Each structure stands twice: as C-alpha cells, then as structure tokens.
Amino acid sequence: MTISPDLPQVLVIDDEMGPRESLRMLLKPNYQVHTASSVEAGIKILQEKHPDAVISDIRMPGTNGIDGLRRIREIDPHVAVIMLTGFGALETAQEALRLGANDYISKPFDAREMRDVISRNVERTRVQRTGEHAAAEIRELNNRLLKELAQKERLASLGQASAEFVHDLGNPLTIVWGYVQLLAKKLEQQEKAPGTESPTSAKELNIIEQNVRLCRELLTMWQSYGSVEAAPHKPISVSAIVREVVKGIGSIATGNGVELIVDISEDPCTLMGEGVQVTRAIQNVIINAVQASAEKKGKVTISCTRGDFYVDVRVEDTGTGMTAAQIPKIFEPYFTTKQHKSGTGLGLYITKKVVEDHNGSIKVDSTPEVGTTFTIRLPLASK
Ligand SMILES: Nc1ncnc2c1ncn2[C@@H]1O[C@H](COP(=O)(O)OP(=O)(O)OP(=O)(O)O)[C@@H](O)[C@H]1O
Ligand SMILES: [Mg+2]
C-alpha cells in the first residue's frame, strides 16, 4: 500500500513493543505512523519528519517521557504532544500538561478515545502551523515593505535635494546671465563707436565673479548633501547679506524697469547661521518681488531693520499681488504660477525651510493688483 503524502503524520514513542505496535495498527488507516523505542530515536524522527502529533509514553528507561517532552518543545513549539500515562498516574499527567503537553491518555487506552484525541490534536497542530506560517509571511512582507519604503524615502529626498539644487543654481546663474548680456551690450557699443572712452566693466565683472563663487559654494554644499543640515552655524551679518543680494539683483531690476528702494541698518545684525543658506532665502524673496513687479514697472522696497532680539528683512513690492486662495499654497514645494518662465516653485519652500532652520519666521501680506510684502524675522545672536 502506498501512503498518501497528504496523510497526517504521527510519531509514537514507547519502549514497549506491545502498545507501540497496537498504536501503529490502530492509526495506520488514517495516518502515516512513525515509531521509536526511545526518546533519542523519537527526537531524530521528529527533526526529520516534522510529525503533526507525538504520542509519548511517560515512563521509559533512559530519558523518560517528561524530559523527552521538554526536548520536543525546544525543537517544535507547535507540534501536539499526547502523553501516555500509567493507570492512576494523575500527578505525572498534570506535570506533563504543565510542561506543555497538549493531552494525556491513560493506559490501557480505549481505541475510540485514542482516535478522537489524535484527530483533535493533529488538527490543532495544523491550525497552529498555518497560523505561524501566515504570521511569518506577514512579518516577511512587512519587512520587505519597510525596506522598500525606506528606499523610496531616500530616493524622494534625493530627488527633492536635486530639485532644490537646480533651483539654487538658478538664482546666481540668472544674475550672471544678466551681467554677461550687459557687458556684451557695452562691448557692442564700443565696437560700433571705436575710440569712445571705454565704460568701466569692473563692477559687472565683480558681480559675475561673486555669483560664480556662490554657484561653486552651492555645488560643494550639495555634493555633501546629508551633512547640509548639520553644517555648523557661524556668526553672520544679515545686513551684509541683504546688501550683497541687492547689489547682485540691482541691474536686473533696473533692466526690467523695476525701481529698488533700499534701507539697510548700519548695525551688522549678527546671528548664528549659515551664510549661503540665508543668502538664498533672502534672494528668493527679492527675485520674486522683482519678477512680480516687472510687468507693471513697479517698485520694490527692501529694508533690514534691527530690533532688540531680532532682525526684520522686509521686501515690499507693488507687483501683481496674490489672491487669498493662492497665499496658503506659495510655501508648498513645486507650487508656481511661472511655468512659462520655467519657475520651479521651490523658491519660497526653500526660503521657509532655511528661515525655520534659523529659528525665524516668515510672514506675507498681499492684495491682488496692489502688491505684496514679505517679512522674514530672524533671532539675533545673544551678546
Ligand atoms: N512677491 C510676489 N508677488 C506675487 N506673487 C508671488 C510673489 N512671491 C511669490 N509669489 C507666488 O508664489 C509662487 C511660488 O513662489 P516660489 O518662489 O516658491 O516659486 P517660483 O518663483 O514660481 O519659481 P522659482 O522660485 O523657481 O523661480 C509664485 O509662482 C507666485 O505665484
Ligand atoms: Mg521664486
């Protein structure tokens, strides 16, 4: 007779041949039966065959059933173990249950009771194992998802970082581009009218050089992305930064017919921070103001005012203004109304991040068709 591989397996451990063989005969029609005459032999079969139930005598020479039970439990916590006890050995049976046996049957056993107990326990093992298997699969799936999520987050933050980097490079490059055009125009005029006195280009070259240096600094900073946030804060002068930014943007504003009105505190307005970051934050706001005012040939008023504990950088424009619905969105990454002018929508998002990294705040007031005022407030270094 061939045994179906799907038949549940039962392991019988008993040193006496009589009960061992009678159990084999009794269970054979419904189970694959393995028999062992000692705990040692039984353990070996357990490890090889992973039976669905173990029936073990308690009293055996050598390793007894109770010690055997302990070892079975160490190997397989889910297999059902049924102990065979001598008549009236209730205490031993209780001890076995306490140690993790699932059931016990007194010898001599009743065939029907034995079949019932085994069928019940085989079922219990299968349910337990299926549950354990499903739980292991869920754990495995969960681990995989967590790993994927971590990778996606890393990729997303890298993508975000590259987009911010592209945006950061955009500001100084726009300035360089503006000045190169200006110089080209000067050269052209000179070529048209040779012999006229050459207008000085030192100022323009200086601004170009400064902005190329900023590009290089940004590049170095972004190359070590990840440590950007952790860059140590140094004393920086906000007044000097605003002055530099205004100098860089000045001729672009004039080129676009926008008037710049500037009022910068004589005080250095020193705070602990990162110069490159604060520069980009202020630059973004001023460039936005110039862009918003270009069409109307409006005015941009920039002030840097020192308070007792903070410095306010205020950028007021008489440009397009914004609707109430638009204002809450402007600090979101990628929100832009300048798609046609290749705006990335990252400018104000970056500004807000930098301001918050320096424990400051940014406020906006705007009226459509009238204009907009941004106020960046940064805490000063304590003296
Ligand atoms: N001063 C302003 N006046 C009117 N609208 C503004 C002003 N500043 C910002 N906005 C609005 O907020 C949006 C987001 O500004 P943000 O600087 O984040 O991106 P952007 O200027 O569109 O793109 P990028 O900064 O990459 O050039 C702008 O597209 C514009 O609609
Ligand atoms: Mg912008």
| Distance in Å, CA 326 to ligand 2 centroid | 14
Q: Which of 144-148, 223-227, 316-320 has the lowest mean pLDDT?
A: 223-227
Does the beta carbon of 252 sit less than 6 angstroms from any atom of ligand 1? no
326 SS3 class: coil
Residue 85 amino acid letter? T
The segment with the largest mean pLDDT, out of 13-22, 126-135, 208-217, is 13-22
Atom of ligand 1 nearest to the CA of 336: 29
Nearest CA to ligand 1 atom 24: 343
**pLDDT value of position 224:** 56
| Coil, strand or helix at 270 | strand
What's the rounded mean pLDDT across residues 19-39?
A: 94
Q: Does ligand 1 have an atom closer than 6 angstroms to the CB of 330?
A: yes
Name the H helices within 193-237: 202-223
Phi and psi at 136, nearest 5°, equal -65, -40
* 159-168 confidence digits (pLDDT tens): 777 777 777 8
Percent of the chain past pLDDT 70, that is, above it, reads 92
Chain position carrying tokens 């009022």: 263
Give the tens place of pLDDT for each residue, 116-140.
999 999 998 888 888 888 888 888 8
For residues 93 and 362, what is the distance between their CA atoms, to the nearest angstrom? 76
Angle at 45 between CA 44 and CA 48, to 5 degrees: 90
Predicted confidence band at 5 (pLDDT cuts at 50, 70, 90)?
Answer: low
Distance of alpha carbon 99 from alpha carbon 97, whole angstroms = 5
Hey, whose CA ends up nearest to atom 1 of ligand 1?
A: 289
Ligand index nearest the alpha carbon of residue 292:
1
Q: Is 148 helix (H, G, I), strand (E, B) or coil?
A: helix
| Nearest ligand 1 atom, CA 348 | 18
Which residue has the least CA distance to atom 9 on ligand 1? 288
Distance CA 10, CA 23 (A): 10
Question: Is the distance from the beta carbon of residue 283 to the nearest atom of ligand 1 less than 6 Å?
Answer: no
Phi and psi at residue 246, in whole multiples of 5°?
Answer: -60, -40
CA 190, CA 170: separation in Å to the nearest integer? 30
Question: pTM to 2 decimals?
Answer: 0.57
Q: How far is CA 57 from the centre of its chain?
A: 56
Please name which of 133, 251, 245, 233 lies closest in space to residue 182, comparing C-alpha atoms: 251
Residue 84: closest CA among 70, 100, 101, 71: 101
Integer angstrom CA distances of residue 206 from 10, 183, 202, 355:
90, 12, 6, 28
Does 358 contact ligand 1 (Cβ within 6 A)? no
- 276: Cβ below 6 Å to ligand 1? no
Q: Which ligand is nearest to the CA of 289?
A: 1
Q: Spell out the residues 6+ positions from residue 337 whose beta carbon is closer than 8 angstroms to its own.
A: 326, 343
> pLDDT confidence of 92, banded at 50, 70, 90?
confident
Set out the domains of the chain in order of their start, with CATH numbers.
Answer: 9-109 (3.40.50.2300), 231-383 (3.30.565.10)
Q: To test the ligand 1 pocket, which listed residue (338, 364, 374) has its Cβ within 8 A of the most ligand atoms? A: 338
Weakest-pLDDT range from 51-65, 289-303, 312-326: 51-65
**Cβ 347 under 6 angstroms from ligand 1:** yes
322 lines ligand 1 (CB under 6 A): yes
Nearest to 233 by CA among 350, 58, 379, 87: 379
pLDDT value, residue 174:
84
State the average pLDDT for the chain. 87
Tell me 86's DSSP state. Answer: -
Q: How far is the CA of 346 from the centre of ligand 2 (A)?
A: 7
289 CB near ligand 1 (under 6 Å): yes
Among 56-60, 126-130, 149-153, 176-180, the minimum mean pLDDT is found in 149-153
Helix (H/G/I), strand (E/B), else coil: 376 = strand
Tokens matching residue 108 = 């001599």
Confidence label for 4 from pLDDT (cuts 50, 70 and 90): very low
Pocket test for ligand 1, best of 336, 374, 376 (most atoms within 8 A of CB): 336
Q: How far is the CA of 274 from the centre of ligand 2 (A)?
A: 20
